[in-house]
Amino acid sequence: MVTVRKRTLKVLTLLVLFIFLTSFFLNYSHTTVATTWFPKQMVVELSENFKKFMKYAHRPCTCARCVGQQRVSSWFDERFNRSMQPLLTAQNALLEEDTYSWWLRLQREKQPNNLNDTIKELFQVVPGNVDPLLEKKSGGCRRCAVVGNSGNLRESWYGPQIDGHDFVLRMNKAPTAGFEADVGSKTTHHLVYPESFRELGENVSMVLVPFKTTDLEWVVSATTTGTISHTYVPVPAKIKVKKNKILIYHPAFIKYVFDNWLQGHGRYPSTGILSVIFSLHICDEVNLYGFGADSKGNWHHYWENNPSAGAFRKTGVHDGDFESNVTATLASINKIRIFKGR
């Protein structure tokens, strides 16, 4: 009988200690623990503390680090606007006047066709609804690899690591055939504009980044009549991408990247930084590959034979150094990871 009482007292003591430490740790209660505890009181106290703990510990995802976690960095919180929608749809296609005027200046369009008519025609050809795959939901862990085109990917052997992500974003003319060991073979979304287009795999979503009204018209033409074959350079008259796999990067989101993230540096953002900020809005964890120079300081594409190439970096419209500082800062506050290769 004495043994049973001692065992019961020990259990009760441990429970009281647990409740006290939990309350102290959570800093929710400064009241003194009563000397007499009844089972009902203990259950209520434990239940309340558990709820508070879950609320305190709630995170927007189950990844080791969550892009959307707030109050980690004031720098990030000042720039990240979770309400911004990355893709153009029939529901959000109306541009504010200042956004439209800014966007027209990107390619110095003087007499563009009516944008509303163009968008109406566009969404008669491609889906005008939100892509359910890209809807970011709370909970879970969507891991995304954003694969740039830097020569530092050569002999990096990142291929399997890249392919292990849920989403793999690539851009412009980047090939994978023949480079699988370093860059992987998986692509879920490929960001292009007409002048940088390349044919994509059957299950790859094309994300058109429109820098001018003609780019939207080209999508309609390239999937139907094939009448547009030249912008300021020759472009493919017809493309094989399935119409239901074509998504449109929102012009207002381009301006958001320019205003919030680039603070007005350069004339407009590069496809690279547009891909990075796009991923912050659709992914829980973001890893960058193929950004920056190689270990010798050369700027070139991984598929080029000339390692000293890279005049494209001095385009006059993008501020490559400032964009690099943005990604470096994101990495320093653990919002993204940058794999620098060789």
Q: Strand (E) positions, 259-335?
A: 285-289
For the question of residue 193 being annotated catalytic, the response is no
Taking the C-alpha atoms of residue 320 and residue 336, their distance in angstroms, rounded to an integer, is 18
The answer to whether 89 and 122 are in contact (CB under 8 A) is no
* DSSP code of residue 288: E
**Residues in binding site for substrate:** 107, 149, 172, 232, 268, 272, 292, 301, 318
Beta-sheet strand order (sheet of 205-208): 246-248, 205-208, 189-192, 167-171, 143-147, 285-289, 336-339
Q: Which of 153, 191, 186 is nearest to 172 (CA)?
A: 191
Task: Choose, from 249, 268, 289, 302, the residue flagged as catalytic.
Answer: 268
Rg of the chain on CA atoms, in Å: 26
CB atoms within 10 A of CB 45: 21
The answer to whether 342 and 282 are in contact (CB under 8 A) is no
Taking the C-alpha atoms of residue 109 and residue 256, their distance in angstroms, rounded to an integer, is 20
**Residues in binding site:** 107, 149, 172, 232, 268, 272, 292, 301, 318
The answer to whether 151 and 304 are in contact (CB under 8 A) is yes
Q: Which of 18, 38, 96, 148 is nearest to 255 (CA)?
A: 96
Q: Which residues pair with 4 in a beta bridge?
A: none
Label the pairing between strands 246-248 and 205-208.
parallel
Phi, psi of 246, deg, nearest 5: -105, 125
Contacts for 108 with CB less than 8 Å, ≥ 6 apart: none
Taking the C-alpha atoms of residue 268 and residue 47, their distance in angstroms, rounded to an integer, is 53
For the question of residue 302 being annotated catalytic, the response is no
Give the CA count within 13 Å in the CB-facing half-sphere of 134: 25
- Active site positions, annotated: 268, 318
